[in-house]
Structure formats: structure tokens, C-alpha cells
Amino acid sequence: MIESPRISEAELTHLGIEAFCRLGLPRGDATEVVKILVMADLFGLSTHGMSRLESYGERLQIGGINPNPKITVERVAAAMVKVNGDNGVGPLVGMRSLEAAMEVAAECGIGIALTRGSNHFGPISPYALLAAEQGFASMIGSNATTTIAPWGGTDARLGNSPLGFGVPNPGGNPFLLDMAMSVVARAKIRDAFKQGREIPNTWGTDAKGFPTTDPKAALDGFLLPVGGHKGYGLALMVDIFAGLLSNAAYLTHIQSWQDAPAEPQNLGHFFILLDTKKLGSTQWLAQRMTDFAQILTDSPAADAEHPVIVPGMIELTKMAEQRRLGIKLSEDTLQLLKKHSQLGDA
């Protein structure tokens, strides 16, 4: 097995910006997109990092994504903005939405951006970290292409919509939670199938909507949401706030970027930001966050090799390590980068 190559944050950023510029983005916009994707790779979330250059790039080339969007921010109330991403690259629309929400939240204590006309915006944790670094707690969600059947239903009508949270921890690691609504990712079912293992009957259903322990049947069926009807409810609420209320597409109205890469997806997001500085001093917050983390991590571990951790610790540890040693990138992603940036030897 070949070790993945490592690349420095600066070089990955440089190549990424060149690639998106060549795909038609203004340099400033390319820089914002790459900021989110590089953070994803730093966190170890490589499926949501620079590897997305493949799908983003293809869609930019065939006109499925607009390289030069006129993103508009309409302030419909003191603490509420509606963002129209004009079918721009997702992380660019995401960054503009985050900034708009932080601006009104700084003024009003809490603020929300409701975003339409967007595309896949990367993972949530980079936005949550950027917000936390400026003292904002966040709740962020996006809708997604349909892959989940409604609870008790038999066809895909609901996205595996991600929901995320961030909380600043002045002087320490912020808490970052970024969760999709399925019990496991599809890849885990695929692994079980390859290895000939049964899966727990809580992971997925067969094509008829019945829970199954057969990974092959589950791959033909649908992912099951966490906690059954609870995860179903949570997934649809994320879609309501991210898609329905933002005037974006929702549920089956969302175009699949895989089946119809040339069509705008009209994805929706929401960004709710709380300015924690309005609630107490930095010291007050730091003291409470440190105590909160301590109480949890002090619980004696069931398995000594897996002590209790708080959300975000894995990603932030990985980020520190990869800033030191370089970022692990698959050979495929590196070739893709070199091709699009025309700077490498590929």
C-alpha cells in the first residue's frame, strides 16, 4: 500500500486557488472557496475537501455552477438576512452567508442567514470554527440530494442533511459538531459488503424499505436515520430551515449533482450565529467551557484505549498535526489539482 503524499497548507492553498481561477473564478472568490476546502483537508475530512475539485470542476466546466455569481444579501429584518448565491460555488456562497450572519449577530446578539441558490458547501466544521474564533456560537445546516426514505416509506425523498454546531472556548479548543442524519455513511455499508460481513439492521433498509442485515440489499435500499423516526424528524427539520424557509429547493425538488451536473441545484443553508460576548466576559466563557469539557472527559472510560472526548477534538488534533507534518492528500486529488492548476508535472 502506497502512503498518501503530504503537501503543505500553503502549497495546497496555492494550487487550489490557481485551479479555481483557471475554472473561471475571480481570485478573491477562489481564495474563499479554497479556504474552506483546505480546512476540510486539515481536519482530515478528505471526502469534503479538495477532492471535491472533481465535481465542482466538472460542473463549472459544463455550466452547472456559475463561476461569476452576483451573490446578493437582503436584510429583511435587523437580525435576518436572505442570501441568494446565484448558483455560485458552494463554499463561496457559504462564506458570504456566514459573514452576513456574523455581521447582524454582532449587532443584535443573534443573527440568521437563510441561503438559496447554492451548491454543496463543504463540511460544516470550517464555518463553525471560523465563527468560534470570532466569539460566535453557531448552528448551521444544509439540505442535500435525496438519499433517505421518509420513516416507513420506500423511496428516497429526504437528504442526509448535515447539521452542525460550534461553540467558542477562549484560550482552548472550541467545540465543533458536524453530523449527518444517517447512522453510518454509505461507504461503511460498502466496506461490509466487500468483506462479506452482515450489518446491524439499524444501518439501512432494502429497496422495499425494510431494515436489513444484508449489506448488498442495503446498498440497493436507503440509509436509515439516527434514532429511526427521531433522525427522520431531525433531517426534515434541517431541510425546512435550510431549504423551505430560505426559498431554496427542498426534498425531491433538489437536483442531483451526479445525475444532472449541468443543472443548478438550488441548495439551501441556514447559519444561526450567537454573539457570546453579549452573554458574559471571555473569562466567564472560558471557565465554563473548561469545566464542561472536564466533567465529560473525567468520566472513566469503558475502554481505556478510548477515553471520553468532546466534539471537535479529533478534527482539531488532526489539524495541528497536519499543519506540522503536511496534509495527507490522495494521489488522485493531487493529480486533479495539478491538472486544473496546470502548475504541476501532470
Instruction: Choose which of 62, 78, 262, 320 interacts with a copy of itself (CB under 8 A).
Output: 78
Judge contact between 66 and 88, C-beta under 8 A: yes
Residue at grid coordinates 446578493 = 72
Site string for a copy of itself, 257-276 (x = CB under 8 A): ---------------x-xxx
Which of positions 184-243 make contact with a copy of itself (CB under 8 A)? Answer: 200, 202, 205, 208-210, 226-227, 230-231, 233-234, 236-237, 239-241
Least distance in angstroms from the C-beta of 131 to a copy of itself: 14
**What is the rounded CA–CA span in Å between residue 48 and residue 36?**
9
Which of positions 95-114 make contact with a copy of itself (CB under 8 A)? Answer: 107-112, 114
Rule CB under 8 A: say whether 313 interacts with a copy of itself.
no
Q: In this complex, which beta carbon is closest to a copy of itself, that of residue 279 or of residue 325?
A: 279
Give the C-alpha distances (Å, rounded to integers) separating 278 from 88, 97, 274: 33, 21, 9
Judge contact between 40 and 69, C-beta under 8 A: no
Q: Tell me, what amino acid is at 28?
A: G
**What is the rounded CA–CA span in Å between residue 10 and residue 45?**
18
Judge contact between 220 and 206, C-beta under 8 A: yes
Instruction: Choose which of 71, 124, 167, 267 interacts with a copy of itself (CB under 8 A).
Output: 167
Least distance in angstroms from the C-beta of 147 to a copy of itself: 13
Q: Tell me, what amino acid is at 137?
A: A
Q: Is 82 helix (H, G, I), strand (E, B) or coil?
A: strand
Instruction: Choose which of 158, 199, 242, 334 interacts with a copy of itself (CB under 8 A).
Output: 158
Site string for a copy of itself, 9-48 (x = CB under 8 A): ----------------------------------------
The three cell numbers of residue 131 are 465563527
Least distance in angstroms from the C-beta of 291 to a copy of itself: 8
Least distance in angstroms from the C-beta of 209 to a copy of itself: 3
Rule CB under 8 A: say whether 177 interacts with a copy of itself.
yes
Which of positions 125-144 make contact with a copy of itself (CB under 8 A)? Answer: 137, 139
Which residue(s) pair with 73 in the sheet? Answer: 83
Rule CB under 8 A: say whether 76 interacts with a copy of itself.
yes
Residue 56 neighbours by CB under 8 Å, 6+ apart: 23, 33, 65, 89, 90, 119, 120
CA 25, chain centre distance (Å) = 21
